[in-house]
Amino acid sequence: MSENLLDDALSRISRFAEQADVAQEVIDSLMQPRATKTASLPVRMDSGATEYFTGFRCHYNNQLGPTKGGIRFHPNVTLEEVQALALWMTIKCAVMDLPYGGGKGGIIVDPKKLSPMELERLSRAYVRAMADFIGPQTDIPAPDVYTNARIMGWMMDEYEAIHRVKAPGVITGKPVRLGGSLGRDDATGRGAYLCTLALARKQDLTPQDTSVAIQGFGNGGYHAARLLQKAGFKIVAISDSRGGIYSSEGFDVESVYQEKQRSKQVKAVYCNASVCEQVDHDAISNEELLELDVDILIPAALEGVIHRGNATKIRARHLVEIANGPVEADADEILEEKGCIVVPDVLANAGGVTVSYFEWVQNRQGYSWDAETVQERLSERMERAFEDIWEQSRQHNTGLRAAAYILALKRLGEAVEAHGTRNYFNS
């Protein structure tokens, strides 16, 4: 993995800038975050002792609107990671043509070691530290790695208590009864599923004859696997942080998921009602999963899992990136030379932020949409964005990642130029 994730993210901006043909001011505005806040979060533990956790929040760029981005709880969170993720969110919102800039947050913590009450106190402590840094018109957080709807509900409640207002639009990904949106729970996986369908159409892939391997079986990976299998794709490999399973015959995704909820492990099973039977399979590592000879590989875990050291071993013909930054910048060229088509994270995992936008709109309107409406509008947005990027790819003779960045930089450029650039004032 790259030692500095932000440098890795910035290298792509520099690489694609010339092809985008935008003013230098646009590139300069993306070379550093607009503002970043670091806070020490005191939390009273169940033992009575007080422990201190470090939290971050980054507003990377707000040219297109208030910043938007998730909050992750993870022991390996760093300031540079948060800033890189906020930069990617800036690009992602521009790709999806959303009225948002990019933001991100995180806390250095292993949430599995906290009790439910300690987790609530930590969530509320984060909002107390960031209460003047977030807001419905300023910066709108959402769930990310190891955070969920309940945590977002705690955070919204704390923000409202501090400001003495009802402000459901300050947080997205909330429980539905607290102002959340129907369809938000599977939005990230559904967006990746829609991109995979679009890719399959472009590449003349028949679902029943298409093998898929998924690294990461969290919310995004599970829902993508579930929807793809329902559409006829063969899910031949699944893994979580502990390792994975492989069978050329494929797995019943729902059975594997239900067993994971029960045992906290990915196991090769088929379940009929409450009776589960083990199916023939090979136990594989996460590294082995990435190197499988499959039609579609879906990295849905953490960033940097494909890099210069292992990119030459990737045999999948297509990649769909659900995770943020699963392919390091120095591996892009290797994959392109191998003829691997990559649907980049700034498109493939944008279903989450898109439905978060729908949730924010509903909160502002005071009117809730049904699940069918949410899914229809998500499908329209994802398909339109995929077609826009595919067209950019054809025009510029580039891969889909470059095309996505070119499209995003052009849209950001239009916002910058609306205020006037050096060329305008000099003329």
Contact 238, 245 (CB under 8 A): yes
CA-atom Rg of the chain in angstroms: 21
Strands (E) across 129-261 are located at 139-143, 211-215, 234-240, 243-246
Measured CA to CA, the distance from residue 84 to residue 104 in angstroms comes to 9
- Active site residues per annotation: 104
Q: CB under 8 Å to 26, separation ≥6 — which residues?
A: 17, 20, 409, 412, 413, 416
Measured CA to CA, the distance from residue 68 to residue 242 in angstroms comes to 31
Distances from the Cα of 105 to the Cα of 34, 355, 363, angstroms: 14, 19, 22
Q: How far is CA 7 from the centre of its chain?
A: 19
Q: CB under 8 Å to 302, separation ≥6 — which residues?
A: 145, 216, 323, 326
DSSP 105-119: EEEE--GGGS-HHHH
